[in-house]
């Protein structure tokens, strides 16, 4: 019997990560990794779990936005949703009143992701497959039916998408075998937070190399001399052949970014990430042209497929770092995978935070199996924190993701975690650090 | 004695406009014009009032986001804020956790506008001046101090802004005399909502002409044959010399927009507004090149100065329709006025809804007096509804705004309005029309 969605709960979960300064960068100085966590209950007892990721204050706004969409979801059968998933997606993204406070960006789009991803989890659990496998087993025609092509038809129509997917259908089985055997390449962000001193960074780099990592990312952008020193520490620790990426988290002006990256170029950074405002497509394009062969990477704040379309049209990105929460869930992620494949730009999904790695492994697998058909130049981001809270946590082996075979979207947290890290509205903390203090029970 | 902000209230106000179909267009079919309304109370008893505008569901999210910023505002003295208003603005826009759920877009940015504009109202009331006059009386150096130039320095630095403002300081007194004598040009959007039939549109056009309007805007984009018929009705009613603007409210794809506008070109539309996704800078640029001499106008959904910077860099807009709520309040509006002046693109502020006309008159006056120094090609939008709720409503005479001299930002609603249209969280309506039904008491 196909389940009907009979209930929706949205829970404000916050982890006090600001205390350890893990996750600190030049823009985000004190994140408390948080999730607006959705559980869909159904007529058959099966559940769908999903979440959107934030860094603390504002998580309550995503919870409220999820509540605002409740009536658009509860009462629908899974069969109805799956029969026209693009239509379902648009009915939420395009609600005639709610879209004013977006449209397709910010709080409402983050909330949309939580719901859409919970529906994916539900569907996959019902099918008894991991989400990556569920999508890989769809026909190209069914895959196209998942996507709202509105506002990207100048670069990608349903028929163009179909042709691309049909080309990649050949060899899919062989790629699946290889993926399960070898895993998917990854890089780690756990070594180089701005809050860490040089000694700690050196130790973490040595440990990462010992664990088999061949690509590491560090944060830059607060002080140029510090960055030169830190890049030297990392390059010395990892040797000349491993990749070092640098991430400025939006703090520069366009010309400042060009100068600063040139000053760090002698340490051979593989990419510079988020050099300027995440909305500044033309700024990224100028930087990309100026700092080549250093690549420009961005996307964790690129809020919809229309932004990615333009980043690609403008040749502003060498690496697409889409995010399954910033975009409106997996359906829109698939649209961006198609656009990136058309422009032959590799997708390296944004991850870290809480649960983003769990999502990202599915996206990279889908890209490899169905869309780009390639691992070249592609890596899924990895950070080491908070995986213990998940029922089906990621597995990393020698710097590669080992894919989950558990049915669902790997989004499900332990019941104990949900009750321990639930944030009460009456606790809502405004002063910096207050949220962390409230939640410090678990550090 | 300089006041200190001691309290902040945020109220969810909704007007049941969906019942009359006023405000209906191809994207926004059933708006209930709403305001997230802020009152700042102070140690001296003087108050600052401001709001952000939405169209119904989602207004509660803006109220919640205003609450999330409370601790960043309450406790500050007006003197402290005014001494570094750019710094104050950035402290709210850049809160290290809240910015994740933007950044500088969507719900949190709309909320920022309500607070920032309430601070402007407070400052203006304390100075005993209308906001436009308060700004016009600042020195160029003081004006520059209002603006956060982050992420636009590649096109506008503080020193470039200062030079521009100093050039325009000459002749300011003379322009003020002219502005007070002649008013500021406007156009009306009240005639051509999609929900109106041809007969009603014809009657409204004739009435508008009789009232002295020389520029009218109608909605298009739902059905091409309907649009051809409606454009013919309007053009016949207003004659060949008055301006007719058309507004598609984002419903087209890029190529579709080009074809559709060409099909309407024989009716000599002055501009096409929001042809595609409001995020699609490069799409607007292609359309602008293709439909010339029809102008391309957009901006009511352009969410920050970085987006406008790029629209201007890409020559994607012939008319800048910035909005005092979509942008983060007047301070960011001033940044966009400067950018538009640099690129010599006229600003025609978005208005209508509830209270947007009241704000927009100040912006056009500031643009004329301080920034562009010109009325050529410039008009402030006007729509006729809901002005009765304001203490200092706009005054229109022969199709021109007659400027307010009342101290403040003209944002203050009657106490009776605030109590009658207050929307209770327990009423929060999700189904289309439900909000209108709940609020129908006042229709």
- Measured CA to CA, the distance from residue B126 to residue B120 in angstroms comes to 10
Q: Is residue B159 part of a domain?
A: no
Return the number of other C-beta atoms located less than 10 Å from residue A387's C-beta.
Answer: 17
With an 8 Å Cβ cutoff, is A284 touching chain B? no
Q: Are residues B306 and B235 in the same domain?
A: yes
Of A382, A301, A141, nearest to B303 (Cα)?
A: A301
Cβ of B280 within 8 Å of Cβ of A151? The answer is yes
Residue B253, chain A, CB below 8 Å: the answer is: yes
Using a CB–CB cutoff of 8 Å, tell me whether A86 touches chain B: no
What is the per-residue pLDDT for A89?
Answer: 98
Q: How far is CA B164 from CA B193, B321, B345, B366, B379, in A?
A: 39, 21, 15, 14, 22
For B160, residues 6+ apart whose C-beta sits below 8 A from its C-beta are: B342
Q: Round to whole Å and give the CA distance between A419 and A310.
A: 42
Pairwise CB contact (< 8 Å): A96 & B29: yes
- Is A222 in CB contact (< 8 Å) with chain B? no
Cβ count within 10 A of residue B292: 10
Q: How far is A207 from chain B (nearest CA, A)?
A: 30
Taking only Cα atoms into account, the Rg of chain A, rounded to an integer number of angstroms, comes to: 21
Q: Could you tell me which chain A residue has the CA closest to the CA of B35?
A: A101
Residue B298: beta bridge partners? B320
By the CB < 8 Å criterion, does B148 face chain A? no
Reported as a single tens digit per residue, the pLDDT across A71-98 is 999 999 999 999 999 999 999 999 999 9
A427 touches chain B (CB under 8 A): no
Q: Are residues B213 and B316 in the same domain?
A: yes
Residues B326 and B437 in one domain: no
Phi, psi for B37 (deg, rounded to 5)? -105, 125
Q: Which residue has the tokens 């901006």?
A: B299
Which residue in A422, A356, A363, A366 sits closest to A387, CA to CA? A356
Which residues are registered as beta bridge partners of B11? B37
Give residue A390's pLDDT: 98
The CATH number of residue B24's host domain is 3.30.390.10
**pLDDT digits over A254-312, tens only?**
999 999 999 999 999 999 999 999 999 999 999 999 999 999 999 999 999 999 999 99
Token pair 């912006």 in the structure block, residue: B363
Q: Select from A98, A309, A432 the Cβ nearest to the Cβ of B57.
A: A98
- Residue B420 CA, chain-centre distance (Å), reads 25
pLDDT value, residue A18 = 85
State percent of chain A over pLDDT 90. Answer: 90
* pLDDT-based confidence at residue A442 (cuts at 50, 70, 90): very low
Residues A209 and A79 in one domain: no
Mean pLDDT for the stretch of residues A160-189: 97
- The pLDDT score that the predictor gives to residue B71 is 96
Output the CA angle B380-B390-B146, nearest 5 degrees: 60
| Whether the Cβ atoms of residue B217 and residue B245 lie closer than 8 Å to each other | yes
User: H or E element: which one contains A139?
Assistant: none
Task: With respect to residue A65, please indicate whether it lies within any of the assigned structural domains.
Answer: yes
What pLDDT shows up at residue B154? 98
* Min Cα–Cα distance to chain A from B92, Å: 12
Residues 6+ apart with CB under 8 A from A98: A65, A68, A69, A108, B57, B58
In a domain, A164, yes or no: no
Catalytic positions of A, written as ranges: 219, 350
Active site residue B350: yes
Q: How far apart are CA B167 and CA A330, in angstroms?
A: 52
Q: Do A55 and B27 touch (CB under 8 A)?
A: no
pLDDT at residue number A427: 57
Placement of tokens 């990309």 in the chain = A288
Q: In this structure, is residue A22 part of a structural domain? A: yes
Q: Are B23 and B102 in contact (CB under 8 A)?
A: no
The structure tokens listed for B387 are: 């002005």
CA-wise closest residue to B175 among B372, B423, B420, B363 = B372
Task: For A311, name the nearest residue in chain B, comparing CA atoms only.
Answer: B282
pLDDT of residue B19: 80
Domain region containing B342:
169-402
d(CA A300, CA B426) in angstroms, rounded, equals 35
Considering only residues B49 and A431, tell me which one the structure prediction assigns the higher pLDDT. B49
Closest C-alpha among B301, B262, B254 to residue B246: B262
Q: ipTM value of the model? A: 0.95
Q: Chain B: nearest CA to A171, how far in angstroms?
A: 34
Contact B151 A68 (CB under 8 A): no
Cβ-Cβ contacts under 8 Å, B68 against chain A: 57-58, 60-61, 428, 430
Among B12, B75, B148, B154, which would you mutate to test the A interface (most chain A Cβ atoms within 10 Å of its Cβ)?
B154
Place of tokens 């009143």: A97
Of B58, B256, B303, nearest to A97 by CB-CB distance is: B58
* Angle between helix B106-127 and B85-93 (nearest 10): 150
pLDDT of residue A437: 40
Candidates A96, A194, A303, A428, partner chain B, best to mutate (most B CBs within 10 A): A96
Residue B161 lies in a domain: no
Length, in residues, of chain A: 443
What pLDDT was estimated at residue A263?
A: 98
Q: Which residues of chain B have pLDDT under 50?
A: 428-443
Measured in angstroms, the CA of A211 and the nearest CA of chain B are apart by: 31
Q: Is residue B162 part of a domain?
A: no
pLDDT for position B427: 56
pLDDT band, very low/low/confident/very high, at A440 (cuts 50, 70, 90): very low
Q: Please list the residues that pair with B9 across neighbouring strands.
A: B39
Q: Is A189 on the interface with B (CB under 8 A)?
A: no
Among the partner residues B64, B256, B277, nearest to A60 by beta-carbon distance: B64
Identify all chain B residues contacting A430, using CB atoms and an 8 Å cutoff: 68-72
- Kindly state the DSSP code that residue B84 receives in the 8-state scheme: T
Return the number of CB contacts < 8 Å for A and B: 207
DSSP 8-state code for residue A387: G
Find, in chain B, the residue whose alpha carbon is nearest to that of A151: B253
Is pLDDT of A27 > 90? Answer: no
pLDDT tens digits, A367-397: 999 999 999 999 999 999 999 999 999 999 9
Q: Would you state the pLDDT for residue A73?
A: 98
The answer for A 89-128 residues in CB contact with B (under 8 A) is: 95-110
Give dist(CA A244, CA A270) in Å, integer. 6
Q: Select the residue of A64, A254, A306 nearest B280 (Cβ to Cβ).
A: A306
Closest chain A C-alpha to B180 CA, distance in angstroms: 35
Which residues of chain A are within 8 Å of residue B27 when distances are taken between CB atoms? 96, 99
B340 in the same domain as B423: no
Q: What residues 313-342 of chain A have any CB closer than 8 A to a CB of chain B?
A: 313-314
- Closest Cβ opposite residue A101 in set B107, B281, B283: B107
Quick one: B133 and B181 in the same domain?
no
In a domain, A408, yes or no: no
Looking at the structure, tell me whether residues B112 and B182 fall in a common domain. no
Strand B184-192 versus strand B400-402 pairing type: antiparallel
> How many other CB atoms are found less than 10 A from the CB of residue A46?
14
Q: Which residues contact A298 (CB under 8 A, 6 or more apart)?
A: A273, A274, A275, A278, A284, A311, A317, A319, A321
Closest-CA residue of chain B to A325 = B101
Two tokens, residue B164: 């521009």
Residue B426: the pLDDT is: 65
Q: What are phi and psi of B159, to 5 degrees?
A: -70, -35
CA of B16: how far to CAs of A71, B58, B192, in Å?
Answer: 20, 15, 19
Q: Which residues of chain B make contact with A302, given a CB cutoff of 8 A?
A: none
Give the residue-averaged pLDDT of A184-204.
88
Contact list, B54 vs chain A (CB under 8 Å): 97, 100-101
Nearest residue in chain A measured CA to CA from B156? A253
Distance CA B181, CA B400 (A): 11
Judgement on whether residues A431 and A393 belong to the same structural domain of the protein: no
B109 within domain boundaries: yes
Is the link from the previous residue into A103 a cis peptide, with omega within 30 of 0? yes
Q: What is the least distance, in Å, from the CA of A280 to any CA of chain B?
A: 6
Are residues A220 and A289 part of one domain?
yes
What DSSP state is assigned to residue A165?
H
Q: Tell if the CB–CB gap between B151 and A280 is shorter than 8 Å.
A: yes
The total domain count for chain A is: 2
Q: Is the dihedral of CA B335, B337, B343, B348 positive or negative?
A: positive
State how far residue B177 is from chain A, nearest Cα, in angstroms.
Answer: 38
Angle at A358 between CA A354 and CA A362, to 5 degrees: 145
End-to-end CA distance of chain B: 43
Per-residue pLDDT at B435? 40
The DSSP symbol for B408 reads B
Residue A78 and residue A60: Cα distance in Å, rounded? 27
Look up residue A362 and give its two tokens.
Answer: 């599915």
CATH code of the domain covering residue A346: 3.20.20.120
Choose the catalytic residue: B219, B303, B382, B389.
B219
Whether A186 and A102 map to the same domain: the answer is no
d(CA A104, CA A98): 10
What is the rounded CA–CA span in Å between residue A24 and residue A151? 35
Kindly write down the DSSP assignment for every residue of B215-229, as one continuous string: EEEEE--S-HHHHHH
Taking an 8 Å cut-off on Cβ atoms, the answer to whether A253 and B151 are in contact is yes
User: Which of chain B's residues have a Cβ under 8 Å away from the Cβ of A102?
Assistant: 106
DSSP secondary structure string, A200-259?
HHHHHHHHHHHHT--EEEEE--S-HHHHHHHHHHHHHHHTTTSEEEEE-TT-S-HHHHHH
Measured between beta carbons, the chain A residues lying within 8 angstroms of B104 are 277, 279
Q: How much is the pLDDT for A190?
A: 76
- A62 and A190: one domain? no
For residue A9, the SS3 value is: strand
pLDDT cut 70: percent of chain A above it = 95
Start-end of H helices in A314-410: 330-343, 356-366
- Residue B132 to residue B370: CA distance in whole angstroms: 10
Residues B371 and B233 in one domain: yes
Give yes or no for B436 touching A (CB within 8 A). Answer: no
- CB-CB neighbors (< 8 A) of A307 in chain B: 279
Q: Mean pLDDT in chain A?
A: 94
Answer yes or no: do A64 and B64 touch at CB < 8 A.
yes
Ranges of beta strands (E only) in B110-252 are 184-192, 215-219, 243-247
């Amino acid at each position: 019997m196909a389940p009907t969605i009979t209930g929706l709960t949205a829970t404000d979960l916050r982890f006090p990560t600001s205390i350890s300064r893990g996750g600190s960068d030049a823009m985000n100085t004190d994140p408390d990794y948080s999730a607006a966590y959705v559980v869909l209950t159904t007529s058959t007892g099966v559940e769908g779990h999903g979440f959107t990721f934030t860094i603390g204050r504002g998580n309550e706004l995503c919870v409220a936005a999820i509540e605002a969409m409740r009536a658009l979801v509860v009462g629908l059968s899974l069969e109805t949703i799956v029969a026209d998933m693009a239509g379902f997606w648009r009915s939420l993204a395009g609600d005639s009143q709610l879209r004013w406070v977006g449209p397709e960006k910010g709080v409402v789009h983050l909330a949309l992701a939580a719901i859409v991803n919970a529906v994916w989890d539900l569907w996959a659990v019902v099918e008894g497959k991991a989400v990556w496998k569920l999508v890989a087993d769809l026909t190209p025609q069914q895959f196209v039916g998942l996507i709202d092509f509105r506002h990207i038809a100048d670069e990608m129509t349903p028929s163009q998408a179909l042709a691309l997917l049909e080309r990649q259908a050949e060899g899919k089985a062989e790629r699946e075998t290889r993926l399960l055997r070898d895993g998917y390449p990854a890089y780690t962000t756990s070594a180089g937070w701005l809050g860490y001193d040089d000694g700690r960074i050196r130790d973490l780099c040595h440990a990462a190399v010992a664990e088999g990592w061949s690509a590491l990312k560090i944060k830059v952008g607060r002080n140029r001399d510090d960055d030169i020193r830190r890049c030297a520490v990392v390059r010395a620790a990892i040797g000349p052949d491993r990749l070092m990426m640098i991430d400025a988290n939006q703090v520069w002006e366009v010309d400042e970014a060009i100068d600063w990256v040139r000053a760090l170029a002698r340490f051979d950074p593989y990419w510079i990430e988020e050099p300027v405002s995440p909305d500044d497509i033309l700024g990224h394009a100028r930087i990309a042209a100026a700092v080549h062969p250093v690549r420009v990477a961005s996307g964790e704040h690129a809020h919809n497929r229309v932004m990615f379309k333009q980043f690609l049209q403008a040749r502003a990105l060498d690496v697409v770092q889409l995010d399954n929460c910033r975009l409106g869930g997996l359906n829109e992620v698939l649209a961006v995978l198609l656009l990136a494949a058309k422009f032959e730009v590799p997708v390296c999904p944004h991850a870290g935070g809480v649960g983003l790695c769990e999502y990202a492994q599915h996206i990279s697998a889908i890209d490899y199996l169905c869309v780009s058909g390639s691992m070249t130049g592609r890596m899924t981001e990895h950070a080491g924190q908070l995986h213990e809270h998940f029922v089906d946590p990621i597995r990393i082996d020698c710097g590669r993701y080992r894919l989950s075979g558990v049915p669902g979207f790997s989004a499900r947290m332990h019941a104990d975690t949900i009750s321990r890290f639930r944030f009460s509205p009456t606790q809502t903390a405004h002063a910096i650090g207050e949220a962390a203090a409230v939640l410090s029970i678990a550090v």
